[in-house]
Structure formats: structure tokens, C-alpha cells
Structure 1
Amino acid sequence: MGDPCLQAVSVRVMRPGASRDADREALRAFVAEVTDTDPALVRVVRRCPHCGAADHGRPSALVADRQVPVSLARTSGAVVLAVGPGPLGVDVERPSRVTAAALDVFTPGERARAAAEVLPAAGDAHRTACWAVKESVLKRDGRGLRVDPVLVEAVLGPLRNGGDGDGHRDGDSDGGDDRDHDGDHDHARFAGDEQPVTVLLLDDDLVLAVAAGGVPVHVQDVRGPAAARVRPQQR
């Protein structure tokens, strides 16, 4: 169930709070902002579709008397919040972290497409994007990594850079970088279906993936100028 009043997924990339509780509070405030609701009327809850527990599983927000789908992801130095009209999942990963881990989760197709990249750094970013897509799709599914991630295959074209060489995006205002993405090129194969995904290279060491069933995705990066380490990747 989702919110028919929302027409797109709103994504905010920000610096992490002092604790996980602070990040969850930021998500609650973001839901209130996106839905134009008094924050006092917003609650973020979890429900596991597998066991019914409320301490884990796919999160959602209760806004007054309606349910609004949300997702949250973290990596070193960045937190991503997402609010949308239907089930969604987000993930954010750093190539420097993914390449340092011995991950045996990639399909032959994913390995081949990453190996076809001209530069090693581009191959690392491609593998990182594949991992982020797997996580986002499984978050949207609700079971997360209880499902073997190798069962999700990311089929990705060239990574789209989220900014220019100075780290700015179209629509820059009030210290935030905004951009809309239609997500109509990349997809994931999972459980016999193809799911559209949006994948962005936010800077030279940060990849974002959003799985939202093809709904338009609006990304706002509010990490500020200190995060603008972007150098467009050569492909």
C-alpha cells in the first residue's frame, strides 16, 4: 500500500547524524516535509513480512491515518532518505569499501559487464552499482539480505554522473543539489521480473541506487560543498 497523493520518489542525500536514532528522526522530518504534514503526526515503523516483528523489516511511515513508503540507507559519511508513492528501496555504497570486501555475490553477466569497462575505476564503480542495486531491490521486496543477493541481477548501462566537475547539479538552491531521473534504462532481474532502477554516481566514491518500480526519482544532495569531490569518470 502506498500514498496515491505522491507522484514521484523524493530522495535526500545528507551527512549522517550523531546516531542512528538521529538518522531515523531525519527520515521522520523528511516525510513530514514531503507530505506537507505536521511532524508530530508522522511515525516511522517497521514490519517484517516474514515473521511479523516490528523491530526489523521494510520501514514505512504513518502519516495521520495513511501509510507512506520510505527507505533509508547509510555508508561512511552519507545517509540517504527516500519517500515515495509505493514500495521502494534505496542503497548507497562506496567503491572503496565494496572493492575492499570479498563479495561473492555477482552474476556472470554482472562480472562480464564490469570487466568490459575500459578503466579499473569504472569497473569498480560498476560492481559497486550492482551491489547497491541488489540491496535496493531486496529492501523493496521487504526481505532484505535474507534472500541471496546473487538472485538479483543488475543490468546496467554507463553510470550517470550526478554532477558536473564542480560537484553541482541542475536546480542548485539553498546549498542543495536537485535533479530528476526517470530511471528508464537500468533494471534488475529478480524472481522472474524486470524491475526498473535508478543508479547515479553521486561523486567519485559514492553510488546511489533506487528501486521504486519505475516511478520518477527526484534526488536532492544536501551534503554541501565539502562533499563535492566529483571528477566525471572517463568511460
Structure 2
Amino acid sequence: MRHGVSGRLVVAWASTASADERLARLAEAVTGAVSGNARIVRACRACGSDRHGKPYVVGLDGPIHVNLSRSGGIAVLAVCDAGPVGIDVEALHPGGTPDVATWVRKECVVKATGHGLTIDPDLVEVTPPGSAPALVAWPETEPLDSPVWMYDVECPAGYVAAAAVLSNAAPELLMTPASPEG
């Protein structure tokens, strides 16, 4: 049950080649900035590297959270003004199993927390495909600071995606009309 809506989770699709640039522009659009100064940087929670890890947007006023995922030549972008966000997309393979939907649900949560795959996905339990997305169990050694709100994301044919936001109240999911080619 959702205890009210707080903020927005804006999701868009892009080509993998333009993903960081499109994510920066989407963050500007969500915040109302028109400067073109926003850029995406990364910070690895485990090693501190700026070559990989959770993406952040710099060059904007106010708190805004971003994340992205790439698969099969497309990228899904997420911008949230309610709290840390994680998003994951995977290409479906012919004869594949529904486990890929479970995987994207798990991965979006570990991305939202900033842990990434430093948390064993087997320790993260989510609801199964066909049911409303939700976090069921999380490792007790890594307490969460707020509730986790999960969403299945509308995808181009042949893909499955999910998003998670850490926030005291559920943000509204807004899909942009952007296409993967953009």
C-alpha cells in the first residue's frame, strides 16, 4: 500500500551512445534548469573510482538523483527528485525464463542503494514476476534508511525493466515520450 505520493520518477529511453548526455538533459528538464551545464559523473562506493559506479548529476542546484542501465544497444534513464533511484533493463532472449524480471527488480534496488553488485543478489528477495514489484527481504547487515518503492517500467518490445526509489513516500512514475533512437 502506498502512503501518498511524493516527488517524481521520470523515466526515458535513449541510445547507449547518447545515454549520459541525455540523462544530464533529462535531469535539467526535471529541475527546470536550462543552462546545459549539467553533466554525469560516477563514484564507486567500493573503490572510489570515477570510471564506474553510481552516476550522479553535477552542475544543477538542489538534490536530484539519477541512474541508468544499458542493454542490447538501448539505455533506460531515470531521474528522481524524491530520493536515490536505481533502474535496470535487460534484453529478453528467445526461450528465456521469467528470472530476468526477478533480476531487474533485484538489480534496481542494489543500484538505488549505491551498493551495486557488492551485495550478493541472492540475499535480496523481491516479489516474483506477475505480481506487483516490491522488496521482500534485504540483508540485515546493510540497513536501509527509508522504504523502497519499486516499479515495473514500460519497455520497447524484447526488453524488461524495473526501477526502485528510496523515499519515505512513493514518487509518481512518469514515462517520457523519448524513443531509444534519440
CA distance, structure 1, for counterparts of residue 59 and residue 79 of structure 2: 12
CA distance, structure 2, for counterparts of residue 49 and residue 208 of structure 1: 23
CA distance, structure 1, for counterparts of residue 70 and residue 109 of structure 2: 16
Unaligned runs of 5+ in 2: 1-5
The reply on whether 1:199 has 2:152 as its aligned counterpart is yes
CA distance, structure 1, for counterparts of residue 95 and residue 70 of structure 2: 14
In the other structure, the counterpart of 2:24 is 28
User: Greater RCO between the two (CA within 8 Å, min separation 6)?
Assistant: 2
Per the TM alignment, residue 49 of structure 1 is displaced from its structure 2 partner at its CA by 2.5
Closer, same or farther in 2 for the Cα pair 1:187/1:215, shift >3 Å? same
Choose between structure 1 and 2: higher strand proportion.
2
In the other structure, the counterpart of 2:123 is 151
Aligned to 2:25, what secondary structure does the other structure show? helix
In the other structure, the counterpart of 2:36 is 40
Closer, same or farther in 2 for the Cα pair 1:156/1:220, shift >3 Å? farther
Per the TM alignment, residue 65 of structure 1 is displaced from its structure 2 partner at its CA by 3.9
> Which letter maps to 1:33?
A
After superposition, the CA RMSD in angstroms is 2.6
With normalisation by structure 2, the TM-score equals 0.78
The reply on whether 1:51 has 2:47 as its aligned counterpart is yes
Alignment of 1:126-141 (within 5 A): 126-141=98-113
Per the TM alignment, residue 55 of structure 1 is displaced from its structure 2 partner at its CA by 2.3
Closer, same or farther in 2 for the Cα pair 1:149/1:133, shift >3 Å? same
Closer, same or farther in 2 for the Cα pair 1:153/1:32, shift >3 Å? same
CA distance, structure 2, for counterparts of residue 32 and residue 201 of structure 1: 23
Choose between structure 1 and 2: higher helix proportion.
1
Choose from 134, 139, 145 the match for 1:187. Answer: 134
Structure whose alpha-carbon radius of gyration is higher: 1
Choose from 86, 89, 92 the match for 2:89. Answer: 92
In the other structure, the counterpart of 1:13 is 13
Give CA-to-partner distance per residue, 1:41-93, whole Å, 9 cap, x none: 31222222233332222111124343421001111142111100210100011
Give CA-to-partner distance per residue, 1:73-120, whole Å, 9 cap, x none: 111142111100210100011221893xxxxxxxxxxxxxxxxxxxxx
With normalisation by structure 1, the TM-score equals 0.62
Percent identity, aligned pairs only, is: 28
CA distance, structure 2, for counterparts of residue 94 and residue 40 of structure 1: 31
Closer, same or farther in 2 for the Cα pair 1:44/1:98, shift >3 Å? farther
